[in-house]
Amino acid sequence: DQQVKQNSPSLSVQEGRISILNCDYTNSMFDYFLWYKKYPAEGPTFLISISSIKDKNEDGRFTVFLNKSAKHLSLHIVPSQPGDSAVYFCARNTGNQFYFGTGTSLTVIP
Amino acid sequence: DAGVIQSPRHEVTEMGQEVTLRCKPISGHDYLFWYRQTMMRGLELLIYFNNNVPIDDSGMPEDRFSAKMPNASFSTLKIQPSEPRDSAVYFCASSLSGVPYEQYFGPGTRLTVT
């Protein structure tokens, strides 16, 4: 059972524009939802989190939105920069369980 | 801090051989995670430890896989015997109590089993 699902394997965005990465989840409980960024040949890097009691969390250019009725999580990057080109994983911590999505590869075109 | 350290970075072995992957977590972190990344399945949690005790090993694919954490600064993931389908990148990560989901990943070990 995929607890978190990223349906778009890739996304291309022009530099300066908004990047929107999406993630759907199932079986909601009290959770933490997370986004990680991964560059080639490196381990994932924690980016931003949101608890399931919130709707939004912002950190600089990165904002995570949680739509509990739709069971949908999104990451907005504004403005997008070429250095943001990476694979983005959504993840979830529910109690003692940890789940990762399959990733979305973002390419920011200069 | 040096971050999470994994060794080796690359491992090529023949089917049937034993493989041991090593991890040193960040000092002071009390959670340690082992993940496997493949194209088909993305990032899968294999097992994790809290204070050196295995908490959830439900992701370990089969009995050929085993993991140990003899002390707070060292963990191993062993595959015996290895098979070609075990070829993947294996990541170790560590985190602090209170925010176990904010995990710090090592650079990974790329395992190729021929």
3-state secondary structure chain B: CCCCEEECCEEEECCCCCEEEEEECCCCCCEEEEEEEECCCEEEEEEEEECCEEEECCCCCCCCEEEEEEECCEEEEEECCCCHHHCEEEEEEEEECCEEEEEEECCCEEEEEC
Amino acid at B73: S
Q: Which of B43, B100, B104 sits opposite A100 (nearest CB)?
A: B43
pLDDT range class, residue B41, cuts 50, 70, 90: confident
Q: Counting beta carbons within 10 angstroms of the beta carbon of residue A43, is it exposed (0 to 12), middle (13 to 18) or buried (19 or more)? A: buried
Quick check: A75 pLDDT over 80? yes
pLDDT in tens, B80-112: 999 999 999 999 999 998 788 899 999 999 999
Copy the structure tokens of residue A16.
């300066």
- pLDDT at position B1, please? 63
CB interface of B with A, residues 33-92, below 8 Å = 33, 35, 41-45, 48, 55-56, 91
Query: Among residues of chain A, what percentage have pLDDT more than 90?
Result: 83
- pLDDT at position A1, please? 56
Instruction: Test B105 with A96 for CB contact under 8 angstroms.
Output: no
The enclosing H or E element of A7 equals none
Amino acid at A9: P
Rounded to an integer, the average pLDDT of B15-25 is: 98
Rounded to an integer, the average pLDDT of A60-65 is: 98
Mean pLDDT of the residues in chain B? 94
The candidate with the shortest Cα–Cα distance to A30, out of A5, A55, A52, A56, is A52
Q: Which of A42, A46, A89 sits opposite B43 (nearest CB)?
A: A89
Mean pLDDT of the residues in chain A? 93
- pLDDT at position B36, please? 96
pLDDT range class, residue A86, cuts 50, 70, 90: very high
Mutation site, A10, A88, A102, A104, interface B, largest B CB count within 10 A: A102
Instruction: Test B45 with A42 for CB contact under 8 angstroms.
Output: no
Instruction: Test A44 with B43 for CB contact under 8 angstroms.
Output: yes
Q: Which of B41, B45, B101 sits opposite A34 (nearest CB)?
A: B101
